[in-house]
Amino acid sequence: MAEHASINLTKNQALVFDALSKADGPLSAYTILDVLREHGFRAPLQVYRAIDKLQELGLVHRLETLNAFVACTHPNCETHETIAFMICDTCGRVDEISDSMLAERLETISGKSGFSLKASTVELRGSCGKCG
Amino acid sequence: MAEHASINLTKNQALVFDALSKADGPLSAYTILDVLREHGFRAPLQVYRAIDKLQELGLVHRLETLNAFVACTHPNCETHETIAFMICDTCGRVDEISDSMLAERLETISGKSGFSLKASTVELRGSCGKCG
DNA sequence: CAGCGTCATGTTATAAGATAACATCGTTGT
DNA sequence: ACAACGATGTTATCTTATAACATGACGCTG
């Protein structure tokens, strides 16, 4: 899995990305560290440095309300795109959405105030369909 | 200032709220602690507990992307309302917006996926009009 | 009044998240 | 070969947040 993107990744980056890809929910940096100890990880920086690169590549997203990270579910996610996350507080699943009308609305709101929008964070909390 | 709301506040809550109200930007919990040391604050919990209550009352908001807090700029902000924050990365000012079309769009997006929306976090990063 | 519950407070310690600073190693291009 | 660059490893530290436990203030109720 995820071979299409991991080709250019270094060993550590690939390990972190695989850990996130295999997880069925967001992982904290320290959880990733624990998962990868058996692969030689010893320090948080090994995780954070890999995550930094993966975020630049758009392969990983940070969930601000959870202090955790998820592998991008879109094939090749653009960094500058407006993305919203729906986070189920019951089962922990995260759904990633790209909605153009939402993006437009955020631009409109910003524009009204003369605000030059560079990045947006949208995180929705609630219960997913299954957990209702 | 802020007398209209601080009537029901305890001493610590009022101190924290005043500190945030006087600041011209978001403050971290530990910055608040330092500011209030001269008023007898000694430990982080005194700040965090006050903040918890102030958030429940809708008087204070947490900025997830900054790990910091601001006093609400709306007279009596409802807790359940959808609020967006525009954060200027240059001058640090934060503008709080309540936009019904944005709220509707978030509801629509959620609804499509059968997601029951309970709370939303929207934080926009960029440059404000003055910093352009 | 006494006893009880509840909420705010105070204090110490610790958990959880993130970065600084410095050394080493491997690859690439000249 | 060697300089430049990027990735890695390691230790220590900083920032953010909470656990656990004790005390004090207040109102309610018997």
Classified as helix, coil or strand, A108 is helix
CA–C1' gap, B53 and D18, in angstroms: 16
Q: What is the pLDDT of residue B23?
A: 96
The predicted pLDDT at position A7 comes to 67
Q: How far is B69 from chain A (nearest CA, A)?
A: 14
CA of B33, C1' of D21: distance in angstroms: 22
CA pair distance A27, A29, nearest whole angstrom: 6
Contacts of B118 in chain A (CB under 8 A): 89, 125-127
DSSP label at residue B116: E
B118 close to A89: Cβ distance less than 8 angstroms: yes
Nearest to A12 by CA among A57, A45, A55: A45
CA atoms within 13 A on the CB side of B120: 24
Please state whether strand C lies within 7 Å of residue A64 at its CB atom.
Answer: no
Q: Is the pLDDT of residue B6 over 60?
A: no
CB contact B124 to A (< 8 Å): yes
**Residue B106, number of CB atoms within 10 A of its CB:** 22
Could you say which of A84, A113, A122 has the minimum Cβ distance to residue B86? A113
Distances (CA, A) of B43 to A48, A129, B20, B48, B67: 29, 42, 17, 9, 18
| Separation in Å: C29 C1' and A19 CA | 35
- Which of A64, A99, A120 comes nearest B124 by C-beta? A120
pLDDT tens, position by position, A5-46: 556 899 999 999 999 999 999 999 999 999 999 999 999 999
**Among residues 62-121 of chain A, which lie with CB inside 8 Å of chain B?**
64-65, 84, 86, 88-89, 95, 97, 99, 101-102, 105-106, 109-110, 113-121
Mean pLDDT of chain A: 92
Residues of chain B above pLDDT 70, percent: 91
Q: Which residue is nearest to nucleotide D25 (CA to C1')?
A: B10
Task: Check if the beta carbon of residue B54 is closer than 8 Å to that of residue B92.
Answer: no
Shortest distance between the Cα of B100 and any Cα of chain A, in A, equals: 11
pLDDT in tens, A79-116: 667 999 999 999 999 999 999 999 999 999 999 999 99
Q: Which of B21, B91, B9 is nearest to B49 (CA)?
A: B9
Phi, psi of A79 (to 5 degrees): -65, -35
CA–CA separation, A91 and A72 (whole Å): 19
pTM of whole model > 0.75?
A: yes
What's the pLDDT tens digit per position in B30-83? Answer: 999 999 999 999 999 999 999 999 999 999 999 999 999 999 988 767 666 799
Q: Which nucleotide is nearest to A66 (CA to C1')?
A: C17
Contact at 8 Å (CB) between A68 and A27?
Answer: yes
For residues B64 and A125, give the distance between their C-alpha atoms in angstroms, rounded to a whole number: 13
Taking alpha carbons only, the member of B88, B85, B97, B83 closest to residue B126 is B88
